[in-house]
Homo-oligomer: A and B are copies of this chain.
């Protein structure tokens, strides 16, 4: 592990095509797009300012949904006593292999791989009566899954950032409703903001969260044919309230045990967004997520420089009322270099302004997703930016939706399923809900059940064993 400076490559632009080697393309786009960097620690990443600004947008959007529905943020210690982790057997078994431990003279602590246990110990002390219910708390924090060996920036790292919600309810029904409310927030965040279509539903017993009664999730399909779990919302039943003794005094004077939920999305969403929308020029950020909406690049000729800069500033001022605008006034880089940079960084709209444009009372507007370049009258700029951003957001979602559709196969036979998975498709097929069949598919194709959609109308025969099946589910290889 040498500390020598690596040779500084000066190649600008993305050199690997998305279709040629998606994994290498992804790394190049993340690094050159200024989203993240590898850390000098196995399995860790550095989230660079551009990537962190995207995370802040995601936080802002979701945090508002949570606050508007009565959730409040808090912060719990990242050190979780081993004796807490041990209380719920499935939870302990599921998380222990991934844990980094620290010790003091009293006991051993896990660096939080998830915070159910430490939060529920507190809830057991705080909760007294039915008046205190529901408890709706969320936490934004860092999480550690120590045994992560393969690093993939944003998607699989030892440390990552997330939010975890932890709620307490009087009844199963209320907990069910909370699970579905949050899942809908996650779907909305993914589809309406990140422009990534998802399939939603329940997870199989094998795929559910360690310690959950049941798990629901949103699942996206990446261009390499792998599904990505983008968010999960769990009904924990009374699994934790039993072992942490979380009770309340009800109106009828009786002590009752609570029902709980937990749910989370992480910085992995950023990885999904990069994979789904990025192209051979770099990042393509959905307008609703982009930290910068418009980059203004002056076309500089010495004699007109002052006037060109003035015009750029005017446009910046005009657009800054409603949008995040960056005027790239650096004189040490060429216009072409700047075009490249803002394309790599995925800025939705580039506005070029040169002497000719000024003479024609127009600007050149370049759309990041299609590459379309068109002149826009000075007087129409605000209206045009508004229209183009909205159209781009819609277009990006529609394209991703088409891709999800095109890459989902309705499989009727086991051979269909095997072939489709081999062709990097997601498969929609009947399943009898037997774990044995799920295991068979997994060992034959490396695909797992991703979600069991909530609405089920058809009945058919299990793709693996041929027995009666009332659930049609999604199978895919997954990240």
List residues of chain A with CB under 8 Å of any chain B CB: 1, 3, 5-6, 8, 37, 39-42, 44-49, 51-53, 55-56, 72-79, 81, 83-84, 100-102, 104, 106-107, 109, 111, 118, 121-122, 124-126, 128, 131, 137, 141-142, 146, 158-159, 161, 245, 330, 332-333
How many whole Å from A82's CB to the nearest CB in chain B? 11
C-alpha gap A45/B74 in the complex (Å): 11
How many whole Å from A10's CB to the nearest CB in chain B? 9
Query: Is there contact, CB below 8 Å, between B161 and A49?
Result: no
Query: Is there contact, CB below 8 Å, between B76 and A39?
Result: yes
Query: Is there contact, CB below 8 Å, between A111 and B102?
Result: yes
Query: Is there contact, CB below 8 Å, between B5 and A75?
Result: no
In the complex, chain B residues whose CB is within 8 Å of the CB of A1 = 106-107
In the complex, chain B residues whose CB is within 8 Å of the CB of A52 = 72-75
Contacts A3-B121, A42-B104 given; does A332 touch B77 at CB 8 Å: no
C-alpha gap A8/B131 in the complex (Å): 15
Query: Is there contact, CB below 8 Å, between A46 and B131?
Result: no
Instruction: Find the residue from A6, A40, A122, A330 having the highest chain B CB count within 10 A.
Output: A40
Residue of B nearest to A333 (CB): B131
Query: Is there contact, CB below 8 Å, between B47 and A75?
Result: yes
Query: Is there contact, CB below 8 Å, between B8 and A128?
Result: yes
In the complex, chain B residues whose CB is within 8 Å of the CB of A121 = 3, 40
Contacts A47-B75, A52-B74, A75-B46 given; does A131 touch B161 at CB 8 Å: no
Q: List 29 A-B contacts (CB under 8 A).
A: A1-B106, A5-B124, A5-B125, A5-B245, A37-B122, A37-B126, A39-B118, A40-B81, A40-B118, A41-B77, A41-B81, A41-B109, A42-B106, A44-B79, A46-B75, A46-B77, A47-B75, A47-B76, A48-B74, A52-B72, A53-B73, A77-B159, A79-B159, A102-B102, A102-B146, A131-B332, A131-B333, A141-B142, A142-B142
